Structure 1
Amino acid sequence: MSTVIASSPFVIGSGVDAGRSVAPRTRLRLTRRGRIVLTSLAAVPVVAVALFAGLSAVPAVAGSSSADVSFRYVTIEPGQSLWSLAESLAPTVDPRDVIAEITSLNGLTSSSLEPGQQIAVPLGY
């Protein structure tokens, strides 16, 4: 007599799973949109690191156009703004142009000034 062993996805007998059918395992499917989202999420940190490394590698040196400018220092008075400073330095010139030169010469990131602050202004005015 010979013995035949058959495999079945269902458990037969008196175990813990007796009488309960085991659901077949489903495969995870990644759609095209899912692949795009996953790739984008993986690329964001790489791009952020590349931008940060690129920006920190830029030297903090003034441009060649401002390197040739002669300047003097002016002390900011209480209530004085860049606009009033530009108008007092060059009353016949557009104040926006003077403010742009002062901002680039001093490397200012905002237009707020503090009383007593030393600001470099071009000598041409």
Structure 2
Amino acid sequence: MTAIDFTTTVPSPARAAGAAAQRATRAVAGRSTRLRLTVRGRRVLAVLAALPAVIALSVAVLGGGVALASRDAGAPAGSFTTVTVAPGESLWTIAEEVAPDRDPRDVVDELVRLNALDTVLVQAGQRLAIPAAYGR
């Protein structure tokens, strides 16, 4: 009988494939690979991207009421007069009456801002603040 030499080994197909994969990995290692994000990674990235906008909006909302909550005295007592709206009157007619020499559009705008009105519609019996400079 012939003796079998067990010192030399024949590579198995799996071992050969693994070696080929290692060589391919080393060859690709020099090139950049495409970044792949999971769903969780995309969510984290979206939250991190939106975080500065959320912080800025929070500061604006929370800091916006500072002027309203101040303890300043406001306007002097004699700087305004009050007018009660008569039936059939509008802000336009009141503006023409209190400031006949000025453009009624500007006066109406000033009255709306001064009295914090949502619209230019007024109702009979409503009290409006008029700057004393206009007088009535």
TM-score when scaled to structure 1? 0.55
Matched AA of 1:108: L
The alpha-carbon deviation at position 106 of structure 1 amounts to: 2.3
Confirm whether residue 94 of structure 1 aligns to residue 113 of structure 2: no
Match of 1:29 in 2: 37
Structure 2 distance, partners of 1:99, 1:72, is 16
The sequence identity of aligned pairs, in percent, is 32
List runs of 5+ in structure 2 lacking aligned partners: 1-34
Choose between structure 1 and 2: higher helix proportion.
2
Deviation at 1:55, TM superposition (A): 0.6
SS at match of 2:62: helix
* Structural RMSD (CA): 3.4
Distance 1:40 1:115, change over 3 A: farther
Residue in structure 1 matching 2:54, options 28, 39, 45: 45
Number of positions where the alignment pairs a residue of Structure 1 with one of Structure 2:
95
The unaligned stretches of length 5 or more in structure 1 are 1-26
Partner of 2:85: 76
Q: Which amino acid aligns with 2:75?
A: A
Q: Cα offset for 1:60? A: 5.4
Residue 87 of structure 1 and its aligned partner are, at CA, apart by 0.8
Among candidates 104, 112, 136, match of residue 103 of structure 1? 112
What's the offset of the Cα at 1:118?
A: 0.5
In the superposition, relative to structure 1, how do residues 76 and 94 fare at CA in structure 2: closer, same or farther (>3 Å)?
A: same
Tell me the TM-score normalized by structure 2: 0.51
